[in-house]
Amino acid sequence: MKNRGFTLIELMIVVVIVGILCGLVISIINVSSIRRKANETVLKSNLSRVCLAWMVCKVSPKDTASIACDTESKLNAVLPTTPQNSVYTFNNNRWEGTIDTCTYACNEINGAIMQAGDCVLPN
């Protein structure tokens, strides 16, 4: 009677083929690119809220000491701490948010978020 099992060579070939297919799928998905785009989206969302607070601060009645609205205390707000490695600053008379090498800025007129400079994205 003949044994109907798989040989070791056949199983090894199947494992190699599955490994190659997994490698292709992982390289197509590119997790780091997806994570970077998600972090940029969170940064832009947070910056839009900072911009809204900035615009409200600029039109609110205030004394002359706080007219600049250029710090957290003058905005009467707490700057976001997400995403990780992001920085929110007041530069060139506008609020900016930076993550990795990308900087986004708040448009003073309508509060729109725009890219400030070139983004050098890692490969």
Sheet holding 113-115, edge to edge: 86-91, 94-99, 102-106, 113-115
Decide if 98 is inside a domain. Answer: yes
Tens of pLDDT along the chain (123 residues) come to: 567 788 899 999 999 999 999 998 888 888 888 888 889 899 999 998 888 888 888 777 766 554 678 888 877 778 888 888 888 888 888 888 888 888 899 887 777 888 887 676 555
Decide if 58 is inside a domain. Answer: yes
Decide if 18 is inside a domain. Answer: no
Decide if 84 is inside a domain. Answer: yes
Decide if 13 is inside a domain. Answer: no
* Cβ neighbours, 10 Å, residue 105: 20
Residue 66 confidence (pLDDT): 46
Decide if 64 is inside a domain. Answer: yes
Q: Tell me which residue range forms the domain holding 116.
A: 49-123
Decide if 19 is inside a domain. Answer: no
* Cα–Cα distance for residue pair 62/37, rounded to 1 Å: 38
111 token code pair: 């509060």
Residue 21 confidence (pLDDT): 94
Is the pTM higher than 0.85? The answer reads no
Decide if 94 is inside a domain. Answer: yes
